[in-house]
Structure 1
């Protein structure tokens, strides 16, 4: 057997072990830390499968921002809730483990019947029409041209998540004092994250990257600065905050209407997200830039939202 086989086998076993350890952890802080490690290893697994875009998203959002969000939620818990889990919680974790194993068995049984070589391949179809998409990367072409509706709905879901967080938010504990060493590091790390974010956005036209990965990096920079008290609160009452949060969805609406009108199509809903070839590239760049800013600010508000901004 090849070295790749053994590497992938060990990688899969490590993922299963970390997932089990996350469920069985006796301390919430330990569970969160193991979950972050699980997200990083899962990013490696996506890379091994050739899904570089998913690997970037998992590392930035699944492990990075989700980990920060969980640690932020953990910091809001009372000290009494930091104690080891009770016997009832232990029984519940075993029930979750049993249900997870049952679901894994069902998925494995379903995958057994999936043909190794499906009759229809979507990748050749996407590559065949890539020249008419306005971009050179097939994933970007699918997300922002061929299946633009899906991306629009994802932005709407993210917006609804922020609205839901604002409705159920609770007052935060007092923000801890900043650590001088962390403050010095954040001054150097945040500009680098912003630079890399816009590089990933620009690179997404020809290689793995794009708005979601770039937005996650922007959010990471903002979260680092906010946690170190180097960024003022982003209050929801500010008009520019609401405009940026809505800019991703608004960009799709504006681009769709403009495209339909320029094609002289009276049925806007039928041809709403169909970009003409001569306008496809600038429209995609416009949408990606707005989506990057919207995703970045939305994720920032979800992780380090101020109590007065979330409850206003």
Structure 2
């Protein structure tokens, strides 16, 4: 126990140190590297807090996809030296940050223990009705499915906004023998890992969000490698890719209304199958949305001309 306590203290100190380094490192590239390392250590922190679902999401998105997006943005950003802030401004910022941290610590300490076990007890009592054996999946896809549907709607709104930003950044990768060989191994493994996480989410940490993020990572690897010979996704296919998850989610939620039940109140005997269908479609849409976030624009170079001229290949 003593060893783990020391490790936890070191992890907390490392999180704070990396956060400070990500904010105040002299070079922009250094700040990006520190931010990626910060995401990895935060993922370890979630794992130590016995929250493996959050640890997976943080490692894949917070460090992986976000790190790749920031690294790609460095090629389009000049590392201009910053003017040093005045001494008074730095002292004021440090004092304000200290007050906020102290206030948050007092609030968190006043909430301890956060609950007496009643929320987890309520979930365990109705676990059989959820259709899955993992409590997190039961809450996100059944008992609190409304929240997950709204999260998908937020991601869809972000993706639609990105589509209107203009063409995506061009790939700076090239099909060298080393990177090409590595990508040919990584991409199939990432696709298989996404399928495994999707299936595993019914009874263990995983699910659509983590699986979709891994699938988006495969798209990022393809983009970085510069495989130009792959078939291009048409506009109709792209729209279908983004809409299939939220649309199927809403359709499944409307089905119980035909039997006089509430929205998203699945039949107990079909709950497991319906959750699997929702997660499968959501995984595909989440992968497309996160890939668009990484690309930073529409994947077609002549966008929006393709919409104006319907004779263009879709």
Give the TM-score normalised by structure 1: 0.89
> In the comparison of the two structures, how many residue pairs are matched?
302
Q: How does 1:158-237 map to 2 (within 5 A)?
A: 158-169=155-166, 172=169, 175-230=172-227, 232=230
Instruction: List alignment gaps of at least 5 residues for structure 2.
Output: 305-314
Q: How does 1:27-66 map to 2 (within 5 A)?
A: 27-66=27-66
Counterpart in 1 of 2:310?
A: none
The answer (yes or no) to whether the contact 1:259–1:276 under 8 Å persists in 2 is yes
The answer (yes or no) to whether the contact 1:219–1:297 under 8 Å persists in 2 is yes
Q: Residue 104 of structure 1 is aligned with which of 97, 101, 104? A: 101
Instruction: List alignment gaps of at least 5 residues for structure 1.
Output: 266-270
What secondary structure does 2:206 align onto? coil
Cα distance change of structure 1 residues 171 and 129 upon mapping to structure 2, 3 Å threshold: closer
Q: Does 1:121 align with 2:94?
A: no
Cα distance change of structure 1 residues 211 and 161 upon mapping to structure 2, 3 Å threshold: same
Counterpart in 1 of 2:311?
A: none
Displacement, 1:89?
10
Give the TM-score normalised by structure 2: 0.88
Counterpart in 1 of 2:247?
A: 250
Counterpart in 1 of 2:4?
A: 4
Displacement, 1:297?
1.1
Partners of 1:309 and 1:90 lie apart in 2 by: 48
Displacement, 1:16?
0.4
Partners of 1:185 and 1:107 lie apart in 2 by: 45
Displacement, 1:111?
1.2
Give me the CA root mean square deviation.
2.5
Counterpart in 2 of 1:21?
A: 21
Partners of 1:89 and 1:25 lie apart in 2 by: 17
Counterpart in 2 of 1:285?
A: 276
The answer (yes or no) to whether the contact 2:166–2:297 under 8 Å persists in 1 is no
Displacement, 1:171?
6.7
The answer (yes or no) to whether the contact 2:40–2:59 under 8 Å persists in 1 is yes
What secondary structure does 2:39 align onto? helix
Partners of 1:127 and 1:301 lie apart in 2 by: 38
The answer (yes or no) to whether the contact 1:23–1:93 under 8 Å persists in 2 is no
Counterpart in 2 of 1:268?
A: none
Q: How does 1:67-106 map to 2 (within 5 A)?
A: 67-77=67-77, 81-88=78-85, 99-106=96-103
Cα distance change of structure 1 residues 248 and 91 upon mapping to structure 2, 3 Å threshold: farther
Partners of 1:238 and 1:89 lie apart in 2 by: 51
Displacement, 1:2?
1.4
Cα distance change of structure 1 residues 210 and 100 upon mapping to structure 2, 3 Å threshold: farther
